[in-house]
Amino acid sequence: MSDTCSHTKFVIPPPSIPSVAVKGIDARFPVRRIFCVGRNYAAHAREMGRDPDREPPFFFLKPSDTVLDSGVSVPYPPQTKNFHYEIELVVAIGVGGWDIPIERALNHVYGYAVGIDLTRRDLQLAAREQGRPWDWGKGFDLSAPCAPLQTVAQIGHPGNGRIWLAVNGAVKQDSDLSELIWGVPEIISCISQSMTLAPGDLIMTGTPAGVGPIVVGDRVTGGIDGLGEIDITIT
């Protein structure tokens, strides 16, 4: 094995490695990329003005350094007047691969977490209508809060369970993982047919219906049965 890496000199200090906590383990999960699935619950597809028929899943990405831990304050982002929450099941890839068959896809999972796909909805929809990329609506600073991962060894593979989000205690999203249009094995297989998955990749699997705006001072909580909860405050 080459030792080129350890001898690489950088002209500026290299960036730190983004990471998420792992429940019960005194080490963190390094984040390589964040894949996100669009419109993966039928009722949410309808509320976004789209047909929920099983068209192939589509994806977008957030930069890896948009992740942040649960329990922190999130500054209201610039250039939006319609800042939205989206509660999501997050999948952490522990074993890489390409062209992964559906029936073997779960072997690539390290663990799962509760995350929020924070969205500048006005920028996303304007981009959508103009056929432009979603990056400005989805991939801005601190847009991917993520609660501690729980490992497959700890909890197995959650195929169902309540997924919910509340703003200041009022429940806004309330669904079940069994409502996912494309399940975790299908999503992993689908991504891996197009890009090589690698350890450290996260996948945000889509949000159920009930998305809506949040403002400064709001406390956003959410959870997935068996997977814990997430809690952020907008400041």
- Shortest separation between residue 6's beta carbon and Mn ion, angstroms: 38
Residues numbered 72 to 111 that lie near Mn ion (CB under 5 A) are 86
- Shortest separation between residue 162's beta carbon and Mn ion, angstroms: 18
What's the CA dihedral at 231, 58, 122, 130 to 10 degrees?
A: 170
The smaller minimum CB distance to Mn ion, of residues 97 and 203, is found at 203
Report helix, strand or coil for 177: helix
Report helix, strand or coil for 116: strand
**How do 162-167 and 170-176 pair as beta strands?**
antiparallel
The smaller minimum CB distance to Mn ion, of residues 151 and 230, is found at 230
DSSP codes of every residue in 149-189: BEEHHHH----S-EEEEEETTEEEEEEEGGGBSS-HHHHHH
The smaller minimum CB distance to Mn ion, of residues 38 and 97, is found at 38
- Shortest separation between residue 5's beta carbon and Mn ion, angstroms: 34
- Shortest separation between residue 14's beta carbon and Mn ion, angstroms: 30
Query: According to CB under 5 A, which one of 117, 164, 180, 189 is a site residue for Mn ion?
Result: 117
Give the count of residues interacting with Mn ion (CB under 5 A): 3
- Shortest separation between residue 101's beta carbon and Mn ion, angstroms: 26
At 141, list the tokens: 């600073």
Query: According to CB under 5 A, which one of 207, 208, 210, 222 is a site residue for Mn ion?
Result: 207
Q: Which span (57-65, 176-184, 200-208, 219-227) binds Mn ion, by CB under 5 A?
A: 200-208
The smaller minimum CB distance to Mn ion, of residues 97 and 183, is found at 183
At 22, list the tokens: 């792992």
State the Cα–Cα distance between residues 11 and 140, nearest whole angstrom. 26
**Any residues with CB less than 8 A from the CB of 75 and at least 6 apart, and which?**
142, 234, 235
Instruction: Decide if residue 201 touches Mn ion (CB under 5 A).
Output: no
Place of tokens 């779960």: 106
DSSP codes of every residue in 211-228: -EE--TT-EEEEEETTTE
Q: Which span (71-79, 163-171, 182-190, 203-211) binds Mn ion, by CB under 5 A?
A: 203-211
State the Cα–Cα distance between residues 224 and 29, nearest whole angstrom. 20
- Shortest separation between residue 97's beta carbon and Mn ion, angstroms: 24
Q: What's the distance, CA 24 to chain centroid? A: 21
Using Cβ positions, the residue closest to Mn ion within the complex turns out to be: 117
Q: Which residues bind Mn ion (CB under 5 A)?
A: 86, 117, 207
